[in-house]
A and B are shown apart, each in its own frame.
Chain A
Amino acid sequence: RVPVLADHPLVRGPRFRKLKIGAGHRLDVKASGVFVLGIGHGNMLLTDLYNCHLTKVYTVGGLFGKATDDFSDTGNLVEKTTFDHITREKLERILAVIQGTNQKALLMYSNIDMKTQEAYELAVKGLIRPMGKSPPIITAVRCLQFALPEFQLEIHCLHETQQYLRKMVHEIGLELKSSAVCTQVRRIRDGVFTVDDALPRTQWNLQSIQEAIQNCQLKVETELEKTL
Chain B
Amino acid sequence: RRGLGVAAGPPSTRQLREAEEAAPVFQYAGKAARRKDRVFVWGFSYSGALGVPSFVRPDAGWKKPRRVQATPYRLETEEKISSAACGYGFTLLASNTRDITKVWGMGLNKDSQLGFQRSRRDQTKGYEYVLEPSPIPLPLEKPQQTRVLQVSCGRAHSLVLTDSEGVFTMGNNSYGQCGRKVVEDEIYSESHLIHQLKEFDSRVVQVVCGQDHSLFRTKKGTVYACGWGADGQTGLGHYNITSVPTKLHGDIAGVNIIQVSSYGDCCLAVSDEGDVFGWGNSEYLQLASVTETTQVNVPRHLPFKIGKIKEAACGGTGNAVLTEEGNVFVWGYGILGKGPNLIETAVPEMIPPSLFGWSDFSPDVRVAHVRCGLSQFAALTNRGELFVWGKNLRGCLGTGRMEDQYFPWRVTVPGEVVDVACGVDHMVSMVRSF
- Per-residue B-contact encoding for A75-106, CB less than 8 Å = 1, 0 else: 00101111011000010011011011101100
* Interface residue? B62 (CB, 8 A): no
Q: Which of B20-28, B168-176, B419-427 contacts A (4 or more CB under 8 A)?
A: B20-28
* Interface residue? A114 (CB, 8 A): yes
Taking A80-B26, A178-B28 as contacts, is the C-beta distance between A100 and B340 under 8 angstroms? no
Q: Which of B107-115, B125-133, B400-408 contacts A (4 or more CB under 8 A)?
A: B400-408
Q: Tell me the nearest residue of chain A to B21, going by C-beta.
A: A80
Q: Which of A22-30, A119-127, A190-198, A211-219 contacts B (4 or more CB under 8 A)?
A: A119-127
Q: Tell me the nearest residue of chain B to A118, going by C-beta.
A: B339
Number of A-B contacts (CB under 8 A): 92
Check if A79 sits within 8 Å of B412, measured CB to CB. no
Taking A80-B25, A85-B29 as contacts, is the C-beta distance between A100 and B385 under 8 angstroms? yes
Check if A115 sits within 8 Å of B28, measured CB to CB. no
* Interface residue? B31 (CB, 8 A): yes
- Which of B23, B29, B31, B352 has the most chain A CB within a 10 Å cutoff? B29
Interface set, chain A 102-137, CB cutoff 8 A to B: 103-104, 107, 114-117, 119-121, 123-126
**Residue in contact with B355 in the complex, picked from A94, A104, A116, A124, CB distance below 8 Å:** A124
- Per-residue A-contact encoding for B404-434, CB less than 8 Å = 1, 0 else: 1111011010001000000000000000001
Check if B385 sits within 8 Å of A85, measured CB to CB. no
Please tell me the size bucket of the interface on A.
35 or more
* Interface residue? B384 (CB, 8 A): yes
Check if A94 sits within 8 Å of B410, measured CB to CB. no
Check if B385 sits within 8 Å of A117, measured CB to CB. no
* Interface residue? A186 (CB, 8 A): no
**Residue in contact with B20 in the complex, picked from A77, A104, A121, CB distance below 8 Å:** A77
Check if B406 sits within 8 Å of A115, measured CB to CB. yes
* Interface residue? B98 (CB, 8 A): no
Q: Which residues of B contact A79 (CB under 8 A)?
A: 23, 26
**Residue in contact with A114 in the complex, picked from B28, B361, B362, B405, CB distance below 8 Å:** B405
Within the assembled complex, what's the spacing in Å between the Cα atoms of A39 and B352? 44
Number of interface residues of B (CB under 8 A): 36
**Residue in contact with B31 in the complex, picked from A85, A104, A107, A178, CB distance below 8 Å:** A85
Q: Which residues of B contact A115 (CB under 8 A)?
A: 340, 403-404, 406
Taking A96-B385, A100-B385 as contacts, is the C-beta distance between A120 and B339 under 8 angstroms? yes
Q: Which residues of A contact B409 (CB under 8 A)?
A: 104, 107
A224 to chain B, nearest CB (A): 24
Within the assembled complex, what's the spacing in Å between the Cα atoms of A222 and B10? 54
- Per-residue B-contact encoding for A145-185, CB less than 8 Å = 1, 0 else: 00000000000000000000000000000011110000000
Check if B407 sits within 8 Å of A100, measured CB to CB. no
B94 to chain A, nearest CB (A): 27
* Interface residue? A140 (CB, 8 A): yes
Check if A96 sits within 8 Å of B341, measured CB to CB. no
Check if A80 sits within 8 Å of B24, measured CB to CB. yes
Q: Which residues of B contact A142 (CB under 8 A)?
A: 361
- Per-residue B-contact encoding for A11-50, CB less than 8 Å = 1, 0 else: 0000000000000000000000000000000000000000
Check if A126 sits within 8 Å of B359, measured CB to CB. yes
Within the assembled complex, what's the spacing in Å between the Cα atoms of A120 and B31? 44
**Residue in contact with B434 in the complex, picked from A77, A93, A103, CB distance below 8 Å:** A93
* Interface residue? B77 (CB, 8 A): no
Check if A81 sits within 8 Å of B410, measured CB to CB. no
Within the assembled complex, what's the spacing in Å between the Cα atoms of A101 and B27? 28
Q: Which residues of B contact A117 (CB under 8 A)?
A: 339-341
**Residue in contact with A93 in the complex, picked from B20, B384, B405, B407, CB distance below 8 Å:** B384
Check if A123 sits within 8 Å of B29, measured CB to CB. no
Q: Which residues of A contact B19 (CB under 8 A)?
A: 77
Q: Tell me the nearest residue of chain A to B414, going by C-beta.
A: A97
13 A-B residue pairs with Cβ-Cβ distance under 8 Å, sorted by A, are A85-B29, A93-B416, A94-B434, A96-B384, A96-B385, A115-B340, A115-B406, A123-B355, A123-B407, A142-B361, A176-B434, A177-B28, A177-B33
Interface on A for B, CB 8 Å cutoff? 65, 77, 79-82, 84-85, 90, 93-94, 96-97, 99-101, 103-104, 107, 114-117, 119-121, 123-126, 140, 142, 175-178
